Amino acid sequence: MPRYAPPLALILAALATLGPFAIDTFLPAMPAIAGALSVSELQTPLVLSAYMASFGLMMLWHGAIADAIGRRPVLLAGTFCYALAALGCTFADSFAELIAFRVLQGVSGGVGLIVGRAIIRDCYHGIAAQKLMSQVTMLFALSPALAPVIGGWLFTTFGWRAVFAFMAIVGALLFLLCLTALPETHPVDKRTPLAARSLLANYRAVAGNPRFRLYSVAVSLNFVGFFVYVPSAPAMLIGQLGLGPNDFLWLFGPAVAGMIAGAWLSGRAAGRFTARQSVNTGYAMMLAAGLANTLHALLFAPSLPASVLPIGLYTMGMSLAAPSITLAILDLFPAQRGTASSMQGFVQTLTGAVVAGALAPLIWHSVTLLAIASLTFAALGLVFVRLARRHAPPTPAS
């Protein structure tokens, strides 16, 4: 389906912004939400963890349902529900009510990412698939930089409720985009039955594959090596670096620039270098970034831009390695790409939820601990990639 390539990349990138906008937009308003709803600032990460936990659990179903009934109906339902849940957050009167609507938002927030990956594999293979995956990643990477900037402006101008109203508008616009411009890429003759026995069999087949387990854990560890900074952003930027709610671009600017550069490099590398070389180079960047950040934190006081620039190198390496590993995971299951995408997303998001709710509040008071955590996660990710290479037959990412 080459004729769909340019608009398809834009549509899939737009759909993938559902997750980042739900995560990053409200970060500048976290202290104000705590005050307005009479909770401790240590409890506000629950707004993020509740979203990510339901986001991850529902990922197990997005792909399976899309394999059974088609990609387009799942995306339409997901974007519609996302908009309604964000509207509920806008008018929440208590912290418990806000958490409840965030759970509902998480149920639908992963639909664009999960089903979008399956659509790429429906339409393209080999080098073309890697290039399209890289294009989508580059476009998608803009949203984590824009989200906290938009959130900071909305919060300081209109208050924290305007942040969730913005998410509702984004969801509604994406619903209209899917309704008017998205083609169905999964034909009826290739669909799998939506039956409990078939679903369990698919889940067992995916989870039972050692390459899937090892590569999924590796991608998740790479991700949380950066994500540990996301819930920590208010404490780090405002508490340690003395910035304001409109200054979150100091963190997310370098991070997103790195994501875009890494995705561009991945696209350029397709057909010129092996996937193994791309993955190895990505890990070299992540480890160098983590080591540089750790050494600076140990030797010097927190400062700008030195405390944030290495994060850009980390995300560059993360984005360079991720497309090759993700495509290798999907290629393991040609008939259950949606299910494989769901389970890989579930592992990654559940790991992120644990980091956001349990680990980040323990270390966000120290740039040194944050840097050490990032370096440790990258090193563990490399260990799992090496285990996959040692214990499995060669794959496109090995």
Residue 251 and residue 233 in contact, taking contact as beta carbons nearer than 8 Å: yes
Tell me 195's DSSP state: -
Q: For residue 104, what pLDDT is reported? A: 93
How far is it, in rounded angstroms, from Cα 54 to Cα 90? 19
Per-residue pLDDT, averaged over 30-43, amounts to 84
Q: For residue 263, what pLDDT is reported? A: 79
The mean-pLDDT minimum among 32-36, 152-156, 387-391 falls in: 387-391
User: Does position 186 have pLDDT exceeding 50, yes or no?
Assistant: yes
Q: For residue 138, what pLDDT is reported? A: 67
DSSP alpha helix (H) spans, the chain:
5-16, 18-24, 30-36, 45-69, 71-90, 95-109, 111-123, 126-140, 142-158, 161-181, 196-207, 210-227, 233, 249-269, 275-299, 309-331, 337-354, 360-363, 367-391
- Considering the four listed CATH numbers 3.40.50.1970, 1.10.490.10, 1.20.1250.20, 3.30.1280.10, the one that applies to the domain covering 6-391 is 1.20.1250.20
Q: For residue 3, what pLDDT is reported? A: 45
How far is it, in rounded angstroms, from Cα 109 to Cα 106? 5
SS3 assignment, position 47: helix
Per-residue pLDDT, averaged over 86-104, amounts to 94
**How many other C-beta atoms can be found within 10 angstroms of the C-beta atom of residue 261?**
20
| Residues 6+ positions from 57 with CB-CB distance below 8 Å | 346, 350
Q: How confident is the model at residue 137 (pLDDT cuts 50, 70, 90)?
A: low
Q: For residue 103, what pLDDT is reported? A: 93
Burial letters 322-350, b for 16+ CB under 10 A, else e:
bbbbbbbbbbbbeebbbbbbbbbbbbbbb
Q: For residue 146, what pLDDT is reported? A: 78
Q: What percent of the chain has pLDDT over 70?
A: 92
pLDDT in tens, 215-264: 999 999 999 999 899 888 888 998 889 888 888 888 888 988 898 888 78
Per-residue pLDDT, averaged over 180-193, amounts to 79
Residue 50 and residue 328 in contact, taking contact as beta carbons nearer than 8 Å: no
Could you tell me how far CA 90 lies from the centroid of its own chain? 23
Q: For residue 5, what pLDDT is reported? A: 41
C-alpha dihedral, 344 to 349 to 351 to 352, nearest 10°: 150
Q: How confident is the model at residue 90 (pLDDT cuts 50, 70, 90)?
A: very high
| Phi and psi based region of residue 207 (left: phi greater than 0; alpha: psi -120 to 50; beta: remaining) | alpha
Per-residue pLDDT, averaged over 121-131, amounts to 72
